[in-house]
Structure 1
Amino acid sequence: MLIDTYGRIATDLRVSLTDRCNLRCTYCMPEEGLQWLPKPELLTDDEIVRMVSIAVTELGVTEVRFTGGEPLLRPGLVGIVERCAALEPRPRLSLTTNGIGLARTAEALRAAGLDRVNVSLDTLNPEVFRTLTRRDRHHDVIAGLTAAHDAGLTPVKVNTVLLRGVNDGEAADLLDWALRHAYELRFIEQMPLDAQHGWQRENMVTAAEIIERLAARFALTPEPSAVRGSAPAERWLVDGGPARVGVIASVTRPFCRACDRTRLTADGQVRDCLFAREETDLRAVLRSGAPDREIADCWRTAMRGKKPGSGLDDPSFLQPQRPMSAIGG
């Protein structure tokens, strides 16, 4: 197992397939984009499948989430999903995407073995979307959500980041829209993972504010903590249920004690925390010709160094050098 010195066991693997993205969200990267990782540094399709296989068969991982950048930009995505779905024991497979391109790939991904998707959408207003992402692709995201639902990639979860003075007035409208389309909405506090390092705590829309705005229109009943388990989202039943809404309060109410995640970047670095400033190079071990057991041992060693928390509540906190697009969600 991947167990740290605080007794937490990592059973959820986040695999970044690329650091590239076709949006330029203001809270993530500058308008001109970033310097992408050179192709030779990226794990190949075979290497990704091998790493996932080691995690599943040697280390007890039961859930695999493919992320980016934007994972739909990875040419071999469908094949990677299909090969990972054939592993024994079979992990649960999901994908976090901005939804652009999902309309044309949802059916193929479902047929390959993908179980569900998380789609990022911060606004119902195409003009606000253009301001936030610097791209005119709102209609593509909506089409992607519809295609995912129709393909059976359910529950379709929608991830939303609220920015003060930009889209924070849409919270209740977004929830009403999600309920009508049978999507599960999850608000995420803006995190200090932008490439520009421009995040400021006082500008962040907090979980408490989000709940207050939702409660002005909907009756919210907290889901018991026992039901939440290691899930990052605190969830509420909406108007008595069964529909739910979640809030991921990574900054104001960290969930580090129950963290069950390990992360693999597109260039083969293991990260034991989203906010870690250290990484372990498994790509070098893999490409040296090491057997699976040796790679698994290196992964175990990396996870034993995991800290008790993210450090976000420490005045001395420093952002990771990598932005979110290069880490994977």
Structure 2
Amino acid sequence: MRKELIDPFNRKIEYVRVSVTDKCNYRCGYCMPEQGVHPDGTHTEYLSYDELARIIKAFVNLGVAKVRLTGGEPLVRKNLSSLVEQISQYEGLEDIALSTNAHHLGREAEALHKAGITRANISIDSLRVERFKNITRGGDLEKVLAGVDKALEVGMQPIKFNMVVMKGTNDDEIEAMVDYGLEKGVEVRFIETMPIGPAGVSMMDQHYPADKILARVKKHVGKDLIPASGKSHDGPSRNFLIAGTNTKIGVISAVSQHFCETCNRVRLTAKGILALCLGQEDSVDLRTPLREGITDEGLEQLITDAMLKKPEKHFFNENVHNIEFRQMVQLGG
């Protein structure tokens, strides 16, 4: 019988988001300060690919079925496909996904797909060139859209667009993003701004609730939105199929309607910190014991014990200031 990771609230943990770097070539305001997370230029010691692979193997042995590689921007770290190829051999790992801004995806998509990436979530907050450049503080929409096309061409499926909706900044593009999703045959997910770190807290005056987004989508398409269930290790999106099409839209409502009772995921930072909740400080250092020679059995036990510290929920509505201690870019979203 396969092992399972169960937290104190009887939730089965079967999804791990693995950040391979906290660096990013973009500077989206809700995620990262303009100066970056290492403005002083100090060296940041990330886990090696072998170390990441060993931790992922431990999680898979404990019942994890899905791993998502994130950042920062994961594709700014060289030769990511070698890590994908290594972990794709693990029996029991059903799904290796990627979250990316797609700036480098046109160059990397084929190698990543061959190595084992089955799907990709692509961050895209605007379809207007200048607005996109402003939101990302220098991003290149043409490169991103070329990356989308390449990912579709090589067979990554599904491709999902992640649009953080910001009142007064890009909320007038909700309908346009739905149309683009229909045109490309990709899923579109609308995400509420979240008060993660100083960058995220500073954006909360632009919060736009998920229910208003759904109402606008339904009015725009003129069709019913049919609730669509996903795999148990899918992310926190509430998904809907647009009637008469194969296109899904989703909303991630971490603030207005949290999904903590079904949380089945934890996050591993690029520095080897196991973050147990996106909105709480609870975490466990895996890098130090790893480099001090912990056995495979010891590592699995450390992870199992860590689950006992996973909190019941976050408190985005009650107190946005209790999570200013770390940036979204350091957590992998």
TM-score by length of 1: 0.94
Deviations 1:27-61 (A, max 9, x none): 2222222217965621011101111111112x111
Q: Give the corresponding residue for 2:313.
A: 309
Residue in structure 1 matched with residue 53 of structure 2 by the alignment: 49
Alpha-carbon distance change, 191 to 316 in structure 1, aligned in 2, over 3 angstroms = closer
User: Match of 2:122?
Assistant: 119
What count of residue pairs does the alignment treat as equivalent?
327
Give CA-to-partner distance per residue, 1:213-268, whole Å, 9 cap, x none: 212211232415x6575641111221334321000111111111111101110000
Q: Which runs of 5+ in 1 are unaligned?
A: none
Identity across aligned pairs (percent)? 36
Aligned residue for 1:117, secondary structure, equals strand
Say if 1:197 and 1:90 are closer, same or farther in 2 by CA, change over 3 A.
closer
Structure 2 residue aligned with 1:199: 202
Q: 1:191-218: CA deviations, max 9, x gaps?
A: 1124435435453011011112212211
Say whether 1:319 aligns with 2:326: no
Partner of 1:172: 175
Partner residue, 1:99? 102
Residue 76 (structure 2) aligns with: 73
Distance 1:274 1:76 in 2: 28
Query: In the TM superposition, what is the alpha-carbon distance from 1:118 to its structure 2 partner?
Result: 0.5
Given the superposition, is the C-alpha separation of residues 136 and 68 from structure 1 closer, same or farther in structure 2, using an over 3 Å criterion? closer
> Which TM-score applies when normalising by structure 2?
0.93
Q: Write the distance in 2 (CA, Å) between the matches of 1:318 and 1:194.
A: 9
Q: Deviations over 1:80-121 (max 9, x none)?
A: 000000112333100000001100110000111111111000
- Kept in 1: contact 2:16–2:68 (CA 8 A): yes
* Match of residue 217 from structure 2: 214
Distance between the aligned counterparts of 2:230 and 2:93, measured in 1?
24
User: How many angstroms apart in 1 are the aligned matches of 2:303 and 2:328?
Assistant: 21
- SS of equivalent to 2:99: strand
Equivalent position of 2:255 in the other structure: 251
- DSSP 3-state at the match of 1:8: coil
| Residues 189, 250 of structure 2: 8 Å contact kept | yes
Amino acid aligned to 1:166? T
1:85 to 85, 88, 95: 88
Contact 1:197 1:319 in 2 (8 A): no
The answer on whether the counterparts of 1:232 and 1:248 sit within 8 Å (CA) in structure 2 is yes
Question: 1:120-167, CA deviations, whole angstroms, 9 ceiling, x for partnerless residues?
Answer: 001110011011011141101000000000011111111001111111
Q: Which amino acid aligns with 1:64?
A: V
1:279 CA displacement:
1.5
Flag the 1:228–1:54 CA change in 2: closer, same or farther, 3 A: closer
Pairwise CA RMSD: 1.8
- 1-structure distance, mates of 2:188, 2:124: 10
